[in-house]
Amino acid sequence: MGKAKLENIAALLWQFRRRTGLKQEAVAEHLGVSQGYYSRLESGRLMPSTAVYNRITALVASPAFEDAAVRWRKAVRHSYSPVSMVVADRDTVRILEVSQGFRAMGGVYARLRTWDVLENILGEDFDRQAIKLRAMGAFDGALNLVRNIWVAGGAEQTAFFKAVTTVLPDENYKYVLYSQNVEISEQEYNSYAPDERITALER
């Protein structure tokens, strides 16, 4: 292993500890090495043996130490309810993850994929809500919890939803909006005045 490999191992270990919040002693224990040995690995002053290197790669890939954001995404992806995670990307809103529950609704929902731009896909009401959420600071962490009543519609299909949206800090995307949706009737949707369709529940 050369110098570049040594630096990669050191960076990998440092990022793992940063992501998990574990102290050096705890990681050393997981690897079966002393804290001093681990400290030299993380600082790039020591090349691990093949056995220790294999334990490092297994540890950092272990589902037990997955980043919370990765776990959230998996939960959304496999959910049977209409659930989504969206992020702001410059002047647009993109899907980070969408559930089986949404895709099972067919039509436009079945075609939603990670990193799709959502404007002009789910209809004018969704686009207006995305603009309002941005103006309220949801994508900047100014809100924690939002109730939104929205309609996804177009020529293909129309559906009405009530959602609770949680704003989650995310290391990669700054903030992610996680929305748990329930399909509602058009009558219930119309019972909300336009200015009641997005309400900050918690700032």
Q: pLDDT tens, 7-58?
A: 889 999 998 888 788 899 999 999 999 999 999 999 999 999 999 999 999 9
Q: Which of 41, 64, 87 is the last residue of a domain?
A: 64
pLDDT tens figures, 126-160: 999 999 999 999 999 999 999 999 998 766 678 99
Q: Are residues 88 and 54 in the same domain?
A: no
Q: Which of 32, 64, 96 is the last residue of a domain?
A: 64
Q: Give the Cβ contact number of residue 175 at 10 Å.
A: 17
**62-to-16, 30, 67, 104 alpha-carbon distances in Å:** 11, 11, 10, 31
- 102-131 burial by CB neighbour count: b if 16+ within 10 A, else e? bbeeeebbeebeeeeebeebbbebbeebbe
- Please tell me the distance from the alpha carbon of residue 158 to that of residue 152, in angstroms, as a whole number: 6
